[in-house]
Amino acid sequence: MRDILHQLSSLPGIAGALIYARSGEILVSEFPGIYEPSTLQQVVSLLSEDVIILQDMVGESGIMDLKFAGGRVIVKPCAGGSILVLCTALINSQLLNMALTQATRRLEKTIQEPPAAPPAAPPPAPQATKAPKASPAVAPASLEPVKQAFTVRVGPIGAMLFAQIYADWAVTVPATGLEGLVAQLAREIEDRADQQEFRKEALASLT
C-alpha cells in the first residue's frame, strides 16, 4: 500500500497524499513532517463522518475537487476508503487523474486489509526531516494564533491549507515577511469582511 501511495505522491505538483479507511483511520500517509498528524486526522475524520455529503460532492470524474488559491485538495473514494491528495497549483490535471485511476485500481484489493497498515507506520520518521528544508525563520508554533484565526474562518481543512501556504511562504523569508504570509492566507477567505477581520487579528497577534 505504501508503495502505491509513494508512487502517486512522487508526481510533480503533489505536496502530500494519504489513504484512509471508511472508519476514519489513516492507513498510510506520504505527507511531509510540516503537516501535523493531528491536522491530517482532523480532516480525515470530518470526511469519513460525512460519507453521504462526500458522495454528493463527487463529480462525474469520481473525485471531490476542492480548489483554493494555492492548489487543490482531491478526494477519490475507493473500495473501503478514500485517497486524499494535496496538490499545488503546478499539478497537471490529466496526469493526476491517470495516476489516481491507476492507484485506485491497485488499492481495490489491499485497502481492506488491516495488517498492511502496521508495517507502514515506521517509515514516516524520515519524512519529518524534510520539513526544515525550507529553513523557516519563524517556528510554526509561534504562528498558532494566526493558524487558529485562519482555521476558524475556513473550516477544518484550513489547518491543512495553512501548512501548505506556510511551507510556500517559508521559501520567500524574509522577502515577504510575516505580512506576506498573512496576505496569502487572507486570499483563501472568500468573504471580504472576514478577510479584513482576519488580517487585523493575525497581524495583532504578531506584534
The pLDDT tens digits for 51-94 are: 655 666 665 557 888 888 778 899 988 877 889 999 988 889 89
Largest CA distance in the chain: 53
Residues 98-155: tens digit of each pLDDT: 999 888 888 876 645 555 455 555 555 555 444 444 444 455 678 889 988 998 888 7
* CA 148 to each of CA 58, 131, 143, 153: distance values in angstroms, whole numbers, following the listed order: 28, 21, 9, 9
* CA 146 to each of CA 16, 140, 150, 197, 199: distance values in angstroms, whole numbers, following the listed order: 23, 10, 6, 12, 9
Q: Where in the chain is the domain with CATH 3.30.450.30?
A: 2-131
Close Cβ partners of 11 (under 8 Å, ≥ 6 residues apart) = 91, 95, 96, 99
Going 87 to 91 to 93 to 98, the CA torsion angle's sign is: negative
**pLDDT recorded at residue 156:** 67
**pLDDT recorded at residue 137:** 42
Task: Quickly list DSSP for 137-189.
Answer: SS-GGGGHHHHHHHHHHH-TTHHHHHHHHHHHHHTTTTTSHHHHHHHHHHTT-
| Burial of 131 from C-beta contacts in 10 A (0-12 / 13-18 / 19+) | middle
Name the pTM for this structure.
Answer: 0.67
Query: Average pLDDT, stretch 168-193?
Result: 81
In CATH terms, the fold of domain 2-131 is Beta-Lactamase (3.30.450)
pLDDT over threshold 90, residue 18: yes
**pLDDT recorded at residue 109:** 66
